[in-house]
């Protein structure tokens, strides 16, 4: 259970990072 929760949280963090990078590229 705990491992799955951490995995999902990590995936969400990576997704947020990618989204932030995309927004930064659009901002330029």
User: pLDDT digit string (tens) for 7-25?
Assistant: 767 788 899 999 999 999 9
Q: Is 28 a residue whose pLDDT tops 80? A: no
Residue 24 has what pLDDT?
A: 95
Q: Is 6 a residue whose pLDDT tops 90? A: no
Residue 1 has what pLDDT?
A: 58
Residue 5 has what pLDDT?
A: 67
Residue 3 has what pLDDT?
A: 72
- Give the separation between CA 11 and CA 15, rounded to whole angstroms: 6
Three-class secondary structure of residue 21 per DSSP: helix
């Amino acid at each position: 259970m705990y491992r799955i929760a951490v995995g999902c949280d990590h995936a969400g963090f990576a997704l947020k990072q990618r989204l932030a990078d995309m927004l930064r590229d659009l901002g330029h």
